[in-house]
Amino acid sequence: MCYGLGCISYQDVGRLVFIKNTITGAAYEQILVKNLRQSANEMGIDSFILIIYNDPKHTSGVIKDWIDAKEIDILPWSA
């Protein structure tokens, strides 16, 4: 299995991270740490909304705590 996590805005596209295996909430957090704000900066945007799918790694306590600490706006999405 391989899937990607990416960023897109009306101005540009951000980083695309390919994931080859199942990941945990902690691994997802590291992907966000390394890519989320950096993508926003590269696209020239100051604010953004993170879409959170109804997936255990997206809804884990680690991710909820990180999002709260970073004061990131989210849009829940039941995919």
Give residue limits of the domains in the chain: 3-77
Q: Given this model, what pLDDT does residue 1 score?
A: 64
pLDDT for the residue 61: 93
Q: Are 35 and 17 in contact (CB under 8 A)?
A: yes
Q: Say what the pLDDT of residue 35 is.
A: 95
Mean pLDDT by 10 residues, the chain (79 residues): 83 91 92 94 92 87 95 85
pLDDT reported for residue 79: 61
Instruction: Evaluate whether 11 touches 44 at the Cβ level (below 8 Å).
Output: yes
This prediction has a pTM of 0.85
